[in-house]
Amino acid sequence: MSADINRTNKVGGVVSLITLALCILIFAFRLGGHPEIERFLGILFLLTGVPFLYLLFLARTHQRPTIFYIQVSAILLFILIELFLDYAFKIDFRNVLWLTILYVIFFFAGTGGLIGIASLAGKRWGTVAIVLFLIMTFLAFWQRAKIGM
């Protein structure tokens, strides 16, 4: 494996783990009743779209398989959905069941794909991504049950 693709894999691993960690922190601060910190972390989450665009840009150069394009596109699509619903238009959609279901589908498709992206950096990266994904999933459902968001 060339040094260039190895470096790109590490970028993907780091950004994936940071993104999952940000989701965990967002849910934790939402549960703790700290909307100002949650909003700041949400902005950081949105900014992770930049390195994911970089990974998508390099995908063809590194001859990535189709699944990689799907994984990166899924998280980018969720980031766009989040940007428009929660930040640009501030739509209160979480009380509309069908919108919430679509939102959750895109959320888990995007964050689940991070496991595959992180795994390209190595087995340990993938393992850490799985653990973070499971913690994030628990917190996502717990905060939904506790505060309905």
Closest-CA residue to 80 (of 53, 41, 118):
53
pLDDT over 90 for what percent of the chain?
95
pLDDT at residue 1 above 70? no
Q: Which amino acid would we find at residue 83?
A: L
- 21-39: per-residue pLDDT in tens? 999 999 999 999 999 999 9
Cα dist from 118 to 4, 38, 108, 109, 127, whole Å:
16, 24, 15, 15, 9
**What DSSP line would sit under 36-68, residue for residue?**
HHHHHHHHHHHHTHHHHHHHHHHHTTTT--HHH
Whole domain around residue 133: which residue ranges?
A: 3-147
Query: How high is the pLDDT of residue 46?
Result: 98
If you average pLDDT over residues 64-79, what whole number do you get? 98
What is the domain count for the chain?
Answer: 1
pLDDT band at 43 (very low <50, low <70, confident <90, very high): very high
pLDDT at 149 over 90: no
Q: Is the pTM of this model over 0.85?
A: yes
State the Cα–Cα distance between residues 100 and 96, nearest whole angstrom: 6
* 58 Cβ contact list (under 8 Å, min separation 6): 8
pLDDT per position as a tens digit, 116-145: 999 999 999 999 999 999 999 999 999 999
